[in-house]
Amino acid sequence: MSSSGDALHQARADHEQHKRTCRQCHADSAPCQVAKHLLRRYNNARRSGARDGLPGR
């Protein structure tokens, strides 16, 4: 129930949803600019979460 875990979950959900709904990602079979941005945000959240001592997996 920590805020960092919430941010991590939210960032991951955003990325997952984008991959499902983005036509460009499917057409190119490569992440578009938005996907890259979301993935970076997810990685950042994961990093800061790991710093706080949260279990990675």
Q: Which residues here bind Zn ion, judged by CB under 5 A?
A: 22, 24-25, 32, 34-35
State the residue number with the nearest CB to Zn ion. 22
Tokens coding 53: 């001592």
CB of 55 to Zn ion, least distance (A): 29
Beta carbon nearer to Zn ion, 10 or 24: 24
Beta carbon nearer to Zn ion, 22 or 39: 22
